[in-house]
Amino acid sequence: MSQRTVANLDDDVAGLLQATDLDNVTNKNGAYQRALMSVKQRVYIPEASGRQSIMLYDKVYNYPAPSTIFGGSLNDIRPQGVTRIPSDYAYKLPIEMFDRTKGCLPNGYQVTFEFDTLLNPIMRIAQHKTKASILIDPMNSITGWAAGGVASTPVLDSTVFYQSPASLRFSLSGVGAGYIEKTLSNSIDMTTYKGVGVNFLALFIPTVANLTSVELRLGSDSSNYYVLTVTKAFLGAWQNNSFDLSAFDLSQATTVLSPDITKIKYIRATFNVTGAITNIRAGQLFSALPSPHEILFGSTAVFRNASTFALSSTISSPNDQLMLADPIYNIYQHECAYTIALQNGGQFAGGLISSIYQTLHGSYARNGKVMSLGLYELYSAANPSEELRSTGNWYDD
């Protein structure tokens, strides 16, 4: 693959537009980026793919999607190494179908995509490759739970919960720290989780603006414990009135005195607040081991910075390198020329615009007979899409 730059693309596009001076084109780089999105939506581009490692956990379904993913363009999910078996298919499902059937998957992977209020993509994954998690406490009974600081005594909530049948509900009365704690009736051996496991706590927080951090203590008693603090949820910022999992990574834990990892039975969750929060719900506390996986996804991050080698979907300078092979680059330069020609309207003759369009999409007689195939058709014939498409039934069963 020849290493072209954005400056080379300028020369090629100017030639297609009959030696047009591109310095006079408004938002030229924006036009190039729009053209790339058009190409990406029309054909599958192997080079325009991202690869990212991801840790999956039992009972955790929501994960941050890669920042450079193109919408929900996913090519594959697979375990790292060589442990994949022939029946480990990856299925992409509609959101509602995924949520109904995520607990019924016999093997392989199910995935769907959602977006939060800030348009951050959330990748939902169901799988059976991870080791079963340890349920530390279901938080569906008030037995054994006590409170201190600015926290009120927990009560049972059977209408707002993370996992049926109930959750713990309590309030924080003002500025300071409030905690809930419990000594389990039976200790848990967490030897295999020491230094590697992640503890997940489901929290429903009505007023996240007043919450600065959550501290979790796990120990063999109230004097000997591991302590971890988080300032956000697993997916990012805590959301108002939403059950979010907060992840406490044991590899980052601080040890206080000498906790016995084989006999964990003390739990304490402390909430540091700048103002009152009414009716926090704590849903479930469990510990899971990471399972290393890899996701392959479609992306428009094909502009590589010549200095940092970072890939981006936006152009930073004329020296940015284009990570596109010859066949797709041929389409891309024509799409860039077509986009700029449309953008600049009257500066270009209709015949020139039509000629570029026919080069890209082909020409057809009125009866539908193919007069000539376009670059998109020729490319698609040799490069069928490998993107996972949504499968399932959109109708009421």
94-125, pLDDT tens digit by residue? 999 999 999 988 889 999 999 876 667 899 99
Summarize pLDDT for 37-47 with one digit per residue, the tens. 999 999 999 98
CB of 159 closer than 8 Å to CB of 281: no
Of the CATH numbers 2.60.120.260, 3.90.1570.30, 2.70.70.10, 2.60.40.10, which one belongs to the domain with range 134-291? 2.60.120.260
Lowest mean pLDDT: which of 262-276, 291-305, 364-378?
364-378
Global pTM? 0.89
User: Per-residue pLDDT averaged across 202-228, rounded?
Assistant: 97
**pLDDT (0 to 100) of residue 165:** 96
**pLDDT (0 to 100) of residue 351:** 78
b/e burial code for range 77-90 (CB count within 10 A of at least 16 → b): bbbeeeeeeeebeb
**pLDDT (0 to 100) of residue 102:** 92
Question: Which residue would you say has higher pLDDT here, 353 or 234?
Answer: 234
- What percent of the chain shows pLDDT beyond 70? 96
Nearest by Cα to 199 from 161, 239, 160, 249: 249
Residue 256: CB atoms within 10 Å: 13
**pLDDT (0 to 100) of residue 364:** 78
Nearest by Cα to 324 from 337, 308, 311: 311
CB of 246 closer than 8 Å to CB of 254: no
Q: Which residue, chain included where needed, has tokens 């909530």?
A: 157
Instruction: Return the domain boundaries, the chain.
Output: 4-47+301-382, 57-130, 134-291
Residue 232: pLDDT over 70? yes
d(CA 188, CA 185): 10
**pLDDT (0 to 100) of residue 367:** 75
Residue 396: pLDDT over 60? no
Summarize pLDDT for 154-185 with one digit per residue, the tens. 999 999 999 999 999 999 998 999 999 999 99
Q: Which residue, chain included where needed, has tokens 């340890």?
A: 134
CB of 128 closer than 8 Å to CB of 83: no
Nearest by Cα to 358 from 388, 334, 341: 334
**pLDDT (0 to 100) of residue 299:** 93
d(CA 277, CA 329): 56
**pLDDT (0 to 100) of residue 19:** 75
CB of 277 closer than 8 Å to CB of 206: yes
pLDDT, averaged across the chain:
92
Residue 20: pLDDT over 80? no
